[in-house]
Structure 1
């Protein structure tokens, strides 16, 4: 597919001050200016949905759902493949835009587009999977347990990896026969919403099947309470996830939560020091630590703790910080001033409680240095809270049992990892880690398009999305029996 310059995939003439329902329409809630974190300059202007916009979209999605679910599986699969091809054909343009809107480095933008393409291909396969079983039944009756669409799925996605985390829910929900109302974070509405809308629009998705409505809490609460919505899939902070779960539960909706977590990377004393430092730096500082899987707590066995701390601090000091669109840097800006102030507060409070800054700790505007804290202990904010910034904390331990006890000292952990050449030793720890994603001889930031993604406790209440979990999430069981003729009952 070749688009003209005036009709290119990311021409904001399409979405400027608009929302999407298959067409581009004005918003009842006004408009929202999107600011590029790396420059502080306006990047775009989009429609800003209010509760009225959400109510209208949910009703329209409900009307469109039966016809969409009735479309042949092969036709739906072909549509996802076309959408994937459109993303591939516009790969460079999309990658740069994701990087600019999120404040990420260009390889991070490329990763998001690449994963979104993989997710679309997964959805194409999902659309053609058999979903059910033939049950034992008396002669003369066919008894089936089958998976059917839930109906309208509301999706609320975050700012940090907006394209991946929106597409991860949108594509499988659509593949299972649902219609979708997507509320991307208003800080990243194009990467998290309109980029997806444009790909599906060009691929030929019918009107009303996908709605994209950037908005604030009012729009999110309207989505969680609307009578036409059968399910909410939310990715974001634990605090907002509690509110989403409360509202969805009150209205008896299926809810899927993918939240944060105070993640643990355990370095055993037999680990290769340089390899361990390399893994730790990547897991801690990728995308400024604004990743739900970031290695925020690094547990290092005492015989190598001092050397590890020195090497990690040296590496952190060498990581360049700046605008990713203007040069080769390792860390870009934080998403906003609020997040910056929270990170500064966690560092200051932890230092006041006895932690030490081994590297970093300073910032210039939204550009915060890679920061390493040592002497961190339970009870300090740096140990107890997810920072969601370029800050990692080193905690020493003596025995494997102590490492396990410290690592599990949380209300919920999304990811954990153990590095050791002794796989058996690492597995004895891994088998007892209370985390949703666990890795041996790797750092904590890992995600493929085909893996179940979720965690217990405050990291997501045990729900998962992705790969084999998608059918469970986006469909429900229905029992169907078929007889040739109705039976005669005694009354």
Structure 2
């Protein structure tokens, strides 16, 4: 069986069955590089959302009772399928999400990594016995699955960022209903359903509904069944999800992984050649369409001119175009709406007087790298998350000013600092208001056992390792009075 040739991939996956959506609306799924039609989807309606949540709710109690060894064996089977289907998954990411072959390979590896980590989770759900001052009492803490988790995944790393929530939730005894982004319904949704089906997971454990946000988005979040909504996407929509999840009729938990404005800070003792390499990869990998992308680089005035010279030379060597070619670093933007937004950012930067040293014309949905220098740190170019191949360079007077600039943002997801003095780097990193800081490395990093998440408007909660176990389970305090208390 070849996953690529499965007609079912443009259908809904509910309770172990493939079926067309029941909405009157359809959508077409296009390759962002060559505009070839991939699939047409009959979209999900709120009735399909109801059916998916009902299936997940029905399957959850029995799934949670499944012995840890059985859950681990299924996850091991999933690992085998991911390995066997690896090249097909990469091909799908290239054709549907516009990923370069390099980025798609990295994404597959990340999904495999979180799956391997999740395999350990069934044996890491620990209870606890608490001391008590009450005579003849046992005080116990049980850790249990939350129940049903609703997952809304994005289009930029669709396969991994869906898998990150799905496999974690399922490994811990939850069941899942997934709503993938409209731009990546296969790589963020139905392809995962097909892979879980091939691995042998029971019906109802994973359900996928592909639908328009305007038709089912709010309903998906407000629904009575899910105990938690895991959302990865923009801060604007994340705020809406939070309001609906907490302020609606049914209060539920939320895990929000939102936007960023990651700084790469180059201190005056940095290895400038290294700093340039890190800046270029951190900004331009996947066309800058990564929440952790280096959205601005802050350079100490003492090394600023030398850094700019090296940066300009490096950016001019980047390969732009066909994402299927292994050497390509910059491929297509996901859709025309995003293209227009990036073009707006570039036009406004030029109009405001920012100095552009590298640019170029858009070809289809491929935007070449744009580099602006001497950027005003209070400008929209510095403040806004471009989510595209646009790099503003900001000059800092000194280290203290660089830290001030790094923190002058509403976001706080990822960050990086380049210095040859490692302890200086650590001290600087601890001053940054962000969930993650990398010293002498790019701002883009996601390791399956390390805490992933942000501060401020970059979200709530942490993914991966023991941190996600806390997020996707609940504690239940139980006391056992083995002998009646003395009468008062």
TM-score (norm 2): 0.95
2:179 aligned with 1:172, yes or no?
Answer: no
1:14 matched to which residue of 2? 8
Q: Which of 19, 22, 26 is residue 25 of structure 1 equivalent to?
A: 19
Q: Residues 326 and 300 of structure 1: is their aligned pair in 2 closer, same or farther, counting only changes over 3 Å?
A: closer
Q: Which of 446, 464, 467 is residue 465 of structure 2 equivalent to?
A: 467
CA contact (8 A) 2:11 2:18 kept: no
Q: Distance in 2 between matches of 1:437 and 1:102?
A: 26
CA contact (8 A) 1:119 1:168 kept: yes
Q: Distance in 2 between matches of 1:150 and 1:277?
A: 45
1:409 matched to which residue of 2? 408
Q: Distance in 2 between matches of 1:48 and 1:237?
A: 23
1:61 matched to which residue of 2? 56
Q: Distance in 1 between matches of 2:486 and 2:47?
A: 50
| SS across alignment from 2:332 | coil
Deviations 1:105-157 (A, max 9, x none): 11211222222122111111011113221111345433211211111100000
2:218 matched to which residue of 1? 221
CA contact (8 A) 2:101 2:325 kept: no
CA contact (8 A) 2:155 2:184 kept: yes
Q: Distance in 2 between matches of 1:314 and 1:359?
A: 10
Q: Residues 115 and 327 of structure 1: is their aligned pair in 2 closer, same or farther, counting only changes over 3 Å?
A: closer
1:129 matched to which residue of 2? 124
Q: Distance in 1 between matches of 2:127 and 2:475?
A: 8
**Alpha-carbon deviation of 1:303?**
1.9
2:146 aligned with 1:150, yes or no?
Answer: yes
Aligned ranges 1:357-396 → 2 under 5 Å:
357-396=356-395
**Alpha-carbon deviation of 1:489?**
7.8
2:253 matched to which residue of 1? 254
Runs of 5+ consecutive residues of structure 2 not aligned to the other structure: none
| SS across alignment from 2:106 | helix
1:265 matched to which residue of 2? 264
Deviations 1:188-235 (A, max 9, x none): 111111221112111111111111112221322111100011110000
**Alpha-carbon deviation of 1:490?**
5.4
1:193 matched to which residue of 2? 189
Q: Distance in 1 between matches of 2:464 and 2:317?
A: 36
**Alpha-carbon deviation of 1:427?**
2.0
Of 88-97 and 17-26, deviating more is 17-26
2:275 aligned with 1:279, yes or no?
Answer: no
1:102 matched to which residue of 2? 97
Q: Residues 430 and 16 of structure 1: is their aligned pair in 2 closer, same or farther, counting only changes over 3 Å?
A: closer
Aligned ranges 1:272-311 → 2 under 5 Å:
272-311=271-310
1:80 matched to which residue of 2? 75
**Alpha-carbon deviation of 1:488?**
7.0
1:117 matched to which residue of 2? 112
Q: Distance in 2 between matches of 1:304 and 1:397?
A: 10
Count of aligned residue pairs for this structure pair: 483
Q: Residues 398 and 480 of structure 1: is their aligned pair in 2 closer, same or farther, counting only changes over 3 Å?
A: same
Runs of at least 4 residues of structure 1 off by over 6 A? none
Q: Residues 489 and 10 of structure 1: is their aligned pair in 2 closer, same or farther, counting only changes over 3 Å?
A: farther
CA contact (8 A) 2:100 2:326 kept: no
2:162 aligned with 1:163, yes or no?
Answer: no
Q: Distance in 2 between matches of 1:280 and 1:17?
A: 41
Q: Distance in 2 between matches of 1:130 and 1:103?
A: 38
CA contact (8 A) 2:151 2:178 kept: yes
CA contact (8 A) 1:20 1:197 kept: no
Q: Distance in 1 between matches of 2:141 and 2:94?
A: 45
